[in-house]
Structure 1
Amino acid sequence: MGDHPREGADLARLGAEARLLAAGPPEAAATGEPLAGRGLAAATLRAGQAEWREGRDAAETAGEFRGRLEHAMRAAIAATLREAEPGLPLLATIGSVSPFVGLFGTVWGIMHSFAGIAARQDTSLATVAPGIAEALFATAIGLVAAIPATIAYNRCTTRLHRIRQEALAAAGALALRMSRRPARLAAAE
């Protein structure tokens, strides 16, 4: 994920769709009109509609019916948001492994310095400097990779968490509204 423009746009789009659900989707959601399009809002509403059209079973309480609607919409939200997460494990790996790669390079550079001291029997700056420079460069490379990856990972996971929470809350409210309206059953189709 990270700061790639497309991925930032994807998160912005998902956020806008979660806000659309929270603000109250079009009445099409509760009238049974088919919803076109892709994305979080459309997938969530289609999942709710599919359950709503089936209607409430005679043995099912109103709360169970609402729960079934909400469960279907939550599953659609989870599936849609999973599609937005494929780069997160890579960012987490880079953010957590890079400092260790830098540390390995630091140890390697210091060992190189000690080898130079032993080979020349000299502790002058000219003998030690190349190994120390390698060590510092390796540390810098590890940090240059780790810091942006960790920041991007944290930003993306925080945004996805907020989007998820907003969409789940909206699904609960929508399920409540939909469960209060009688469904037009297959007999009318």
Structure 2
Amino acid sequence: MNLFPFLTAATAPTRLNPLDLFLEADIVVQAVMAGLILASIWVWMIIISFGLRLSGVKKRCANFETEFWKADDFDALLKDRVKLNIPSARVAAAGMGEWRRSLKVNGGKSDREGIRQRLASAMESQVAQEADTLADRLNFLATVGSVAPFVGLFGTVWGIMNSFFQIGAQENSSLAVVAPGISEALFATAIGLFAAIPAVIAYNRFSHGVNSLEARIQRFADRFHASLSRELERS
């Protein structure tokens, strides 16, 4: 008989404690949890840094394009801007470089259609390179978003297997025996989802942002290509 029931009620846990679940888990489950926690921290670092980077690149591209179409000397503007992290400036520099190389061949008058094609190819290639460079770190978000739930599930399966082992070892199938192990195991899945959900959301959002920026740079390249084509017709 429990003579002091109020003491039992006072010491009984009233809510889940994530730290206790981690510390009391099997070593394999702990390793899974630790890996998922590190992945989650890295995901949030990428989310914050990439968000700031993408916003800055968009702003610099917008400012450069505004200055570019108002400039009287494209070469002078590009000389000052191409060293900065401005994708539009590098695309324009690629176009100007191909323009100069093409004009050295018979004064640029022998194959105007060929020059147009080379200009378009040079700038399109640079646009694709800029998009690939910008989206490079998004691969980690995609990997975590797709793999983390399965890693957490592995930890859960291992924890449940360990709980069944305890049932056999203690020859006791009561809920008090298996509940702690199952709770620790399910916590691994929860951490996996905690890492995966922000990664998937951020990946989709940033992929849309990169695609939008790529489309904007491509429109700038098309407009510049048209400007160079008109200049070619006058030559």
Whether the TM-score (by the shorter chain) exceeds 0.5 is yes
SS at match of 2:47: coil
Change (3 A) 1:29 1:163: farther
Q: Which runs of 5+ in 2 are unaligned?
A: 1-44
Do residues 134 (structure 1) and 180 (structure 2) align? no
Identity of aligned residues (%): 40
Q: Alignment partner for residue 116 of structure 1, among 129, 151, 166?
A: 166
Alpha-carbon distance change, 69 to 20 in structure 1, aligned in 2, over 3 angstroms: farther
CA RMSD of aligned residues (A): 2.8
Q: TM-score, normalized by length of structure 1? A: 0.82
Alignment partner, residue 57 of structure 1: 108
Supply the AA of the counterpart residue of 2:111. Answer: E
* CA drift at 1:31: 5.0
Taking structure 1 as reference, are residues 175 and 20 closer, same or farther at Cα in structure 2, changes over 3 Å only?
farther
Residue 40 of structure 1 corresponds to: 87
Alpha-carbon distance, 1:97 to partner: 1.1
Contact conserved, 1:22 with 1:167, CA < 8 A, in 2?
no
1:86 matched to which residue of 2? 136
Match of 2:27 in 1: none
- 1:31–1:130 Cα change, 3 Å: closer
Q: CA deviation at 1:114?
A: 0.9
Q: Which residue of 2 aligns with 1:9?
A: 52
Shift of 1:146: 0.8
Equivalent residue of 2:231, what SS?
Answer: coil
Aligned-residue offset at 1:77 = 2.1
More displaced 10-residue stretch of structure 1: 161-170 or 49-58: 49-58
Q: What code does the residue aligned with 1:16 have? A: K
Distance 2:218 2:64 in 1: 9
Distance 1:12 1:108 in 2: 43
Partner residue in 2 for 1:26 = 69
Q: Which amino acid aligns with 1:8?
A: G
Answer 1 or 2: which has greater helix percent: 2
- TM-score scaled by structure 2? 0.68
Which has more radius of gyration? 2
CA 1:103–1:113 in structure 2 vs 1: closer, same or farther (change >3 Å)?
same
CA displacement at 1:11 relative to structure 2 = 0.8
CA separation of 1:105 and 1:31: change in aligned 2, threshold 3 A: closer
Aligned counterpart for 2:193 among listed residues 143, 148, 167:
143
Residues 69, 179 of structure 1: 8 Å contact kept: no
Aligned to 2:12: none
Query: In the alignment, is the contact (CA less than 8 A) between 1:113 and 1:132 conserved in 2?
Result: yes
| Aligned-pair CA distance for 1:140 | 0.6
Counterpart of 1:51, as a letter, is: E
Segments of 5+ residues of structure 1 without an aligned counterpart are: none
Query: Could you say what secondary structure the match of 1:59 adopts?
Result: coil
Deviation of residue 58 (structure 1)? Answer: 3.1
Residue-by-residue CA offset, 1:2-46 (whole Å, 9 max, x unaligned): 422x42222113323454577683354875445122211211111
Q: Is the 8 A contact 1:2 1:153 kept in 2?
A: no
**CA contact under 8 A between 1:91 and 1:152: conserved in structure 2?**
yes
Deviations 1:129-187 (A, max 9, x none): 1221122111111111111111111111111111111211221122011210149x9xx
